[in-house]
Amino acid sequence: MKLPRHALRLRRARGRPAHQVVAWAGAAWLLCAAAGGLAGLRVNTSPSIPPGLYRVSAAPVVRGACVLLCPPPTPVFALARARGYLGAGFCAGGYGYLMKQVLALPGDQVDFAARGVSVNGRLLVGSAPLAADLAGRPLPRTAPRALTLAAGELLLMSPARPQAFDARYFGPVAQAQVKSVIVPLLTWPPGGQTDQSICRPANARAAAAPANPWRGAHAAPRPTHEKE
């Protein structure tokens, strides 16, 4: 009995080893990722900023914008990479890109304290540093101090996730580490977060800007860090 062509194709597909199916699926994913990268698109799965699809932009780095950056090869980032807080990638030191929101610019007054991070006298909600990660290992912490951001310095935070690895632990970073601004195209709020101002600079919003860039209640932070 001669089987129809579509039945033969189905039989051959079912007869393929699982590793071949996985290999083909992986190759397809890599091709899609490469195509998206060439088109200037980035997919964010980290909870540091709202997950979803972003577009690389040549827009200037302004307060409220989200950025794609390479972590500098410093001891604190080496520790974060060793513990798995950061993923592997093509940045110096083998780090992957980070996606964070700019919450302070050169000339802003930033205060790092046990109660949290303040910008120009305003405390950022949910910004208190955690003492340890989920494994009980002590976390690095930016030394408590007040400072004025120098030219070329930025404060990068993760307003969508109080548990994230951000400036509370690595301090200000040089703008030279920023690769580009990223603009949200299609995102959804992580963990019930409803603040749609994240990654949308104040001068680009039609609605009145909130008094606090971290508005809205957050659950009490758990001592955990994931790849950011």
Which pLDDT value is given to residue 162?
81
What is d(CA 190, CA 68) in angstroms, rounded to the nearest whole number? 19
Q: What is the DSSP letter of 228?
A: -
pTM > 0.75: yes or no: no
Burial of 138 (0-12, 13-18, 19+ CB in 10 A): exposed
Cα end-to-end span (Å), the chain:
57
Residues 129, 109, 143, 66, CA torsion sign = positive
| Residue 14: pLDDT over 60 | no
Give the whole-angstrom CA distance, residue 227 versus residue 81: 9
Which tokens hold the place of 6?
Answer: 């579509």
> Confidence class of residue 156 from pLDDT cuts 50, 70 and 90?
very high
Contact present, 161 and 216 (Cβ < 8 Å): no
Looking at the DSSP bridge assignments, the partners of residue 181 are: 57, 67
Residue 99 has pLDDT above 90, yes or no: yes
